[in-house]
Amino acid sequence: MNRIPLRIRLTAIFAAVMALVLAGAGYLTLSRFRESQAEYGAATGIAHQAQQEALDDLVRELLTALPIVFVLATIGAYLLAAAALRPVERMRTQAAAVTEDTPDYRLDVPPSRDEIARLATTLNDMLTRLQTALDHERLFVADASHELRTPLSLLRTEIELALRHPRDATELHAALVSAHEETERLVQLAEDLLLLARTDRRDTTQTGSAVPDLAPLLHRVAARLRNGSPDKAITVDCPAGLTAAVPSDRLDRAVTNLVHNAQQHGRGPVEVTARPDGDRIRIEVRDHGPGFPPDFLPHAFDRFTQADRSRGTTGIGLGLAITAAIARAAGGEYGAFNHLDGGAVVWISLPALARPPASA
């Protein structure tokens, strides 16, 4: 049944309904004719033979006319179905012509405001979303390739120099240290890219349980990033009992990225604040530096973007992008703004962990 063209199925349905209608109309016509003939004959005394002949004539006329009407109506239904489905077939042909080489191609939207026009609009919106996703993927691959090229080139140069020119133990050790640093950068980049890929496809194979108490996690992150250095002041303001419906390892990574970003690009103490926000929790990280350039704020969470590449800061511009991806995967939100008193503020809002109802 599914292999039969839609216009044939619509025509068959119409033909079946039409057959029932014509059969019912013929039956009612004959019934009414018999009743009227009986009444008229009783009143006028017309012979039964004449009435029967008139009835036979009517039956022959119905048997001749009804099939003709049925055939003509069926043909008309087929033509109407074909005409109604012609825009759909046109859209199918146009959709089949869309390839990766014609990403800007869109379907023609008919001027009518019917279901066909809405279908064309919906398909065009879908094509736009697919094109946007494809553009993001291509840009992501291009940026990743660019970021991989630099450490790989440096690593190859170090190895080639070590092989071509004899070195003493000190020089060889320095070359190995440099190669190790570039290798670590490659490993970190690969892990970041893998985490982004997993969060983009909403990977459910996450380690770590939800966070039943946020304060200890924030204090651990602050202690780790202070690293025993008094000039890396990090303050944490988080009331007890805040929860987050996010795997602990992912939340640890998100907050670490926010604090590390504030340390790299800001000045003064870094302030980490967490507060309840309805059925969510909001975590803010503020630094006391110059803040984000205004034209950079809309792109702060884009991948491979940095506000101050020229200042020689390390990193590849994936920290905030990873934090944003973690927040999105958890059903949360994120944002950034410049504080009125100076410095940048980056925040994430995450669903709170549902508490079990208290027993009576």
Query: CATH code at 271?
Result: 3.30.565.10
Tokens of residue 331, six digits: 């059903």
Count of domains observed in the chain: 3
Q: State the pLDDT at residue 358.
A: 47
Q: Is residue 106 part of a domain?
A: no
List, in sequence order, the alpha helices (H) in the chain.
6-44, 48-96, 115-164, 169-200, 214-226, 248-265, 319-329
Say which residue, 283 or 42, is predicted with more confidence.
Answer: 283
User: Are both 292 and 325 inside the same structural domain?
Assistant: yes
Among 48-57, 113-122, 158-167, 228-237, where is mean pLDDT lowest?
48-57
Last residue of a domain, one of 200, 231, 257: 200
Q: Is residue 103 part of a domain?
A: no
d(CA 189, CA 194): 9
Closest residue by Cα to residue 221 from 279, 274, 266: 274
User: Are both 45 and 123 inside the same structural domain?
Assistant: no
Q: State the pLDDT at residue 327.
A: 92
Over residues 3-56, the pLDDT tens digits come to 666 667 777 777 788 788 877 777 777 777 666 666 555 545 555 566 667 667
User: Are both 214 and 338 inside the same structural domain?
Assistant: yes
User: Are both 153 and 176 inside the same structural domain?
Assistant: yes
Last residue of a domain, one of 200, 233, 255: 200
User: Are both 183 and 74 inside the same structural domain?
Assistant: no
User: Are both 278 and 343 inside the same structural domain?
Assistant: yes
Residue 344 backbone zone (phi > 0: left; psi -120 to 50: alpha; other: beta) = beta
Q: Is residue 360 part of a domain?
A: no
Closest residue by Cα to residue 137 from 220, 196, 68: 196
User: Are both 219 and 341 inside the same structural domain?
Assistant: yes
Q: Is residue 105 part of a domain?
A: no
pLDDT at 172 over 50: yes
Q: Is residue 223 part of a domain?
A: yes
DSSP assignment string, 214-234: HHHHHHHHHHHHHTT-TTS-E
Q: Rounded to the nearest 10 degrees, how much is the dihedral formed by the CA atoms of 82, 85, 90, 95?
A: -140
Q: Is residue 110 part of a domain?
A: no
Q: State the pLDDT at residue 228.
A: 60
User: Are both 219 and 333 inside the same structural domain?
Assistant: yes
pLDDT at 249 over 90: no
Among 9-13, 113-117, 280-284, 305-309, where is mean pLDDT lowest?
305-309
Q: How confident is the model at residue 230 (pLDDT cuts 50, 70, 90)?
A: low
User: Are both 12 and 126 inside the same structural domain?
Assistant: no
Q: State the pLDDT at residue 153.
A: 81
Beta bridge partners of 281: 276, 350
Average confidence (pLDDT) over 211-234: 84
Q: Is residue 237 part of a domain?
A: yes
Last residue of a domain, one of 175, 200, 225: 200
Domain of residue 65: give its range: 6-96
Question: Which segment, 111-120, 240-249, 301-310, is predicted with the most confidence on average?
Answer: 240-249
Amino acid residing at 141: V
User: Are both 253 and 339 inside the same structural domain?
Assistant: yes
User: Are both 123 and 70 inside the same structural domain?
Assistant: no
pLDDT at 347 over 50: yes
Tokens of residue 56, six digits: 């036979």
Instruction: Indicate the DSSP class of residue 357.
Output: P
Q: Is residue 359 part of a domain?
A: no
DSSP SS3 for 343:
coil
Own/partner long-range contacts of 294-301 (Cβ < 8 Å, ≥24 apart): 294/338, 297/336, 297/337, 297/338, 300/336, 300/346, 301/334, 301/336
